[in-house]
């Protein structure tokens, strides 16, 4: 027992003589909490990635399904058109076989007529009786011809009316009896793009903040919806979840960190406290952006279609834990001993209103889907938050 008591006494003595043990235990507690939160975030990221892969697979299967359906519809339309054309052709042939054959025009015999005209009238009469099948004359033209002939040949003035009627007879053209087959009816072309007023989609974003003091690229994903209100003007709405990592050797500016950062001091008897120099600050920050705006799609029928948009954005900064590390080197010959102090600090959530986004995008539109790649600029117009350049890619389904 004496050995055990001695061992416990030594351990307790070490605890008593250990400087700042409460602060170190608190630091360890915060680190464990941060590790647990980061592990939960990692699980959510893995689940989100698997969900995105599943949605991509379902989207690809839907695309193949609609493509096959479109091909079958085209084949069915072509088959129906060919069948109807064949039926019409068969009916036309049957009707043509039942039509009577055209008969020749019988000229009246000269002996059956009573002639009272002179030889001049007899020589001019065959010209009047000659049929003209290719150019049938109307009643007015016939009367004009008769008057002209009467003026040229005075002997025909006394020609009887039945003879003039007989002279005006014209045979019907044979083309009226010929049945022309109907023109082939080609299948109606499907529209190039399916018109839809409501779109829903998934989008991924990569942002570069300005300035960028030790901040990584901002990455995230979101959901969006668009509704066409008039012409090429669309109302847009989206929600994005963004995160970025921080690792910097200086204190962050107020645009990124609104809390009062911690500070470690070196206390020497008889002297004022001296702050330890900051070694680095490490953290992970999550944000959420809610946007509502207006998009105009430029009406250009091209392989890629441009569009411009403007949106009002509301930013929400989530609480986070930042770990501040301070280091100091003791004076003396090398190797010098480095004293490290770690001070974690948690931040509270806050909302950033008044963010505006202006951007352009290019779209590739299909019958059911639209792919979009765009660049936008987020402006805040005040110093309490940072501006950001965004590159966004999205896929939209035409509802």
Q: Is the peptide bond before 363 cis (omega within 30 degrees of 0)?
A: no
Mean pLDDT, residues 81-94 taken together: 77
> Is 246 in the same domain as 345?
yes
205 and 318: one domain? yes
> 87 and 135: one domain?
no
Are 173 and 232 found together in one domain? Answer: no
Residue 215 pLDDT > 60, yes or no?
yes
Domain annotation covers residue 203: yes
Query: Do 301 and 376 reside in the same domain of the chain?
Result: yes
Asked whether residue 35 is domain-assigned, the answer is: yes
| Phi, then psi, of 317 in degrees rounded to 5 | -95, 125
Is 168 a domain residue?
yes
Specify the pLDDT at position 295: 97
Indicate if 293 and 147 belong to the same structural domain: no
Residue 217 confidence (pLDDT) above 90: yes
Please spell the DSSP secondary structure of 126-166, one letter per residue: HHHH---SSS---HHHHHHHHHHHHHH-GGGGG--HHHHHH
Whether residues 165 and 230 share a domain: the answer is: no
Does the pLDDT of residue 174 top 50, yes or no? no
Least confident of 46-60, 118-132, 180-194, 225-239: 118-132
Instruction: State pLDDT tens for residues 355-365.
Output: 999 999 999 99
For the ranges 13-17, 87-91, 201-205, 342-346, which has the lowest average pLDDT?
13-17
Q: Taking residues 248-259, what's their average pLDDT?
A: 90
Same domain, 227 and 298: yes
Q: Which domain holds residue 15?
A: 1-96
- In this structure, of 78-87, 263-272, 332-341, the range with the lowest mean pLDDT score is 332-341
Are residue 147 and residue 256 in the same domain, yes or no? Answer: no
Average pLDDT of the chain, as a whole number? 76
- Clarify whether residues 363 and 218 are in a common domain: yes
290-306 pLDDT, tens digit per residue, is: 999 999 999 887 889 99
What beta strand segments (E) does the chain contain? 198-210, 218-230, 233-248, 265-266, 274-275, 278-297, 305-317, 321-329, 338-346, 350-365, 369-379, 387-398
Q: Are residues 349 and 319 in the same domain?
A: yes
Q: Token digits for 247?
A: 């690792």
CATH of the domain at 338: 2.40.160.20
Residues 238 and 336 in one domain: yes
């Amino acid at each position: 027992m004496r050995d055990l008591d001695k061992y416990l006494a030594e351990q307790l003595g070490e605890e008593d003589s250990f400087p700042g043990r409460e602060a170190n235990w608190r630091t360890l507690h915060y680190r464990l909490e941060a590790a647990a939160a980061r592990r939960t975030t990692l699980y959510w990221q893995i689940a989100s990635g698997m969900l995105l892969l599943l949605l991509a697979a379902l989207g690809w299967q839907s695309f193949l399904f609609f493509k096959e359906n479109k091909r079958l519809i085209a084949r069915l339309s072509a088959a129906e058109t060919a069948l109807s054309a064949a039926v019409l052709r068969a009916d036309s042939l049957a009707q043509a076989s039942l039509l009577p054959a055209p008969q020749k025009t019988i000229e009246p015999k000269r002996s059956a007529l009573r002639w009272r005209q002179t030889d001049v009238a007899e020589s001019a009469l065959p010209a009047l009786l000659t049929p003209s099948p290719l150019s049938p004359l109307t009643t007015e033209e016939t009367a004009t011809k008769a008057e002209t002939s009467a003026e040229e040949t005075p002997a025909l003035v006394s020609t009887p009316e039945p003879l003039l009627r007989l002279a005006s007879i014209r045979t019907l053209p044979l083309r009226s009896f010929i049945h022309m087959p109907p023109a082939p009816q080609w299948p109606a072309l499907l529209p190039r793009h399916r018109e839809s007023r409501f779109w829903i989609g998934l989008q991924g974003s990569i942002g570069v903040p300005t300035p960028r003091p030790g901040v990584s690229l901002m990455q995230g994903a979101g959901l969006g919806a668009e509704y066409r209100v008039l012409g090429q003007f669309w109302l847009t709405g989206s929600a994005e979840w963004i995160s970025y990592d921080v690792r910097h050797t200086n204190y962050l500016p107020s645009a990124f960190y609104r809390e009062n950062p911690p500070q470690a001091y070196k206390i020497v008897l008889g002297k004022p406290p001296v702050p330890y120099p900051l070694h680095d600050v490490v953290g992970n920050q999550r944000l959420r952006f809610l946007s509502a705006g207006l998009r105009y799609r430029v009406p250009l029928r091209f392989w890629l279609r441009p569009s411009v948009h403007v949106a009002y954005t509301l930013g929400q900064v989530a609480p986070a834990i930042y770990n501040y590390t301070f280091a100091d080197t003791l004076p003396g010959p090398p190797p010098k001993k480095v004293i490290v102090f770690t001070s974690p600090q948690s931040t509270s959530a806050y909302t950033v209103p008044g963010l505006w986004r202006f951007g352009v995008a290019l779209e590739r539109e299909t019958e059911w889907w639209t792919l979009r790649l765009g660049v936008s600029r987020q402006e805040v117009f005040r110093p309490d938050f940072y501006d950001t350049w965004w590159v966004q890619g999205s896929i939209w389904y035409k509802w």
